[in-house]
Amino acid sequence: MFEELKNRPADSLLALIKAFQADERAGKIDLGVGVYRDAMGRTPVMRAVKAAEQFLLETQDSKKYLGPEGDLQFVRLLQPIVFGKSPTFVQRLVGIQTPGGSGALRLGAELIQTANPSAKVLLGTPSWPNHAPIFGSARLGVKEYPFLDLTSQQVKFESVIEALSSADPGDVVLLHGCCHNPTGIDFTMEEWRQIAELLVARKLMPFIDLAYQGLGDGLEHDAAPTRMILETVDEALIAYSCDKNFGLYRERVGALYAMARTADDIGKAESNMAALARVNWSMPPDHGAAIVRTILESAEMSAMWRAELEEMCERVNDNRAALAAAAPDLAFISRQRGLFSNLAMSRETAAALRARHGIYMADSGRMNLAGMQPADAGAIITALRAEGC
Ligand code: PMP
């Protein structure tokens, strides 16, 4: 059996972690792995998370099964944060807890495959490297189109318009809700409006991936495009991750929301989401979602969470500003949002930055802006210049 398998390439980001750890130079800087880091280089457990865990430890009196939908109070309490306090479309929403944003994407992909197996998923590139494989492994066709020109750091909006205009009715458009991974480049609100109009005109369904809410310009600002799209279209899927904005990465906390047209359709979406969860993971892991629920149930813990998230967001944006100040030709970095920016560079240049300067970033040129301190800006720019960037 197993001899029929082909070896898969090792995860290059994991190799990057190992290489960074093995590097003994004092000034090494890790802009590789995609997690938030504080000024000490740690990825801390957030204060509100610690408080919620303490509360759960003392009060949780059962670990009995919850069901394929997971913690529905978590799903409900997250709703106003994502969609606003009383959105017009609230009656048309249904949600289910998933193992992370990845689980939500996978479940959404299978829901599409169940409803319309011939639907294609339109994916602007570059994108998160897991997007295309997730849709592909759910046996959906993926149609990639260039979203952005890395050299000019500009969205190729005419290419986006062309891709949507030539899609077939029923096709799905994957959209990063905010803090685009890997480029940090989001559509302007005007571009989002044009996209919304095209979605309606071409009868396309948006699948919004919202994995970094609060890490761009704050919770409300970062959700604005998602809310506008949902006010405009009839149907949508939203894959939400709490793993970054609650710092819960390994706990795997996410949710899939579907917005449907009629009460009947909502019921169908809901029962199919639960059935698909059942055959994939039976039930999602509880602990992380219970933490988020506990935080959102408490005004005090919620305030603690919001304050710390704002600190994290500010830290990343301060790093962006420091790089832009040190290199005016890289000022675009200060206008980009979220953890990542992606410089145009070859693998060889990325390798030289590691070998000669101890600056670690992905081979693609993606850098995690949370991996540095403002005081590192000079060293990073000097290294980039030495390698011709
Ligand atoms: N979407 C994007 C754009 C991401 O960057 C990530 C995580 N790197 C995810 C989804 C998945 O998040 P999770 O860890 O919650 O599965």
- Tell me, what CATH number does 27's domain have? 3.90.1150.10
Domain stop point among 244, 262, 297: 297
Claim to verify: residue 90 and residue 233 sit in the same structural domain: yes
Residue 128 among the catalytic residues = yes
Peptide bond into 225 cis (omega under 30): no
Q: What is the pLDDT, as a whole number, of residue 13? A: 82
Claim to verify: residue 25 and residue 119 sit in the same structural domain: no
Sequence-distant (≥ 6) Cβ neighbours of residue 223 within 8 angstroms: 81, 82, 83, 84, 177, 178, 210, 213
Count the domains in the chain. 2
388 Cα to the center of ligand 1, angstroms: 32
Domain with 334, as residue range(s), is 12-45+304-387
Which atom of ligand 1 is closest in space to residue 254's alpha carbon?
A: 15
Domain stop point among 297, 313, 344: 297
Q: What is the pLDDT of residues 138-195, one digit of tens each?
A: 999 999 999 999 999 999 999 999 999 999 999 999 999 999 999 999 999 999 999 9
101 Cα to the center of ligand 1, angstroms: 5
Claim to verify: residue 41 and residue 26 sit in the same structural domain: yes
Average pLDDT over every residue of 247-259? 98
Q: What is the pLDDT, as a whole number, of residue 302? A: 98
238 Cα to the center of ligand 1, angstroms: 13
Which atom of ligand 1 is closest in space to residue 34's alpha carbon?
A: 8
Q: What is the pLDDT of residues 265-321, one digit of tens each?
A: 999 999 999 999 999 999 999 999 999 999 999 999 999 999 999 999 999 999 999
Ramachandran bin of 99, using left for φ above 0, alpha for ψ from -120 to 50, beta for the remaining angles: beta
Mean pLDDT of the chain: 97
**Res. 9: pLDDT tops 90:** no
382 Cα to the center of ligand 1, angstroms: 31
| Residue entry with tokens 């890395």 | 150
Which atom of ligand 1 is closest in space to residue 104's alpha carbon?
A: 16
Claim to verify: residue 109 and residue 139 sit in the same structural domain: yes
Q: Is residue 6 in some structural domain?
A: no
**Res. 11: pLDDT tops 90:** no
Q: Is residue 4 in some structural domain?
A: no
Nearest CA owner, ligand 1 atom 10:
101
Ligand 1 binding residues, C-beta < 6 A: 34, 100-102, 128, 176, 181, 209, 211, 241, 243, 249, 254
pLDDT category at 206 given cuts 50, 70, 90 is very high
Nearest CA owner, ligand 1 atom 8:
34
Q: Is residue 56 in some structural domain?
A: no
Q: What is the pLDDT, as a whole number, of residue 33? A: 85
Average pLDDT over every residue of 234-249? 98
Q: What is the pLDDT, as a whole number, of residue 182? A: 97
Give the active site residue among 171, 209, 243, 363.
209
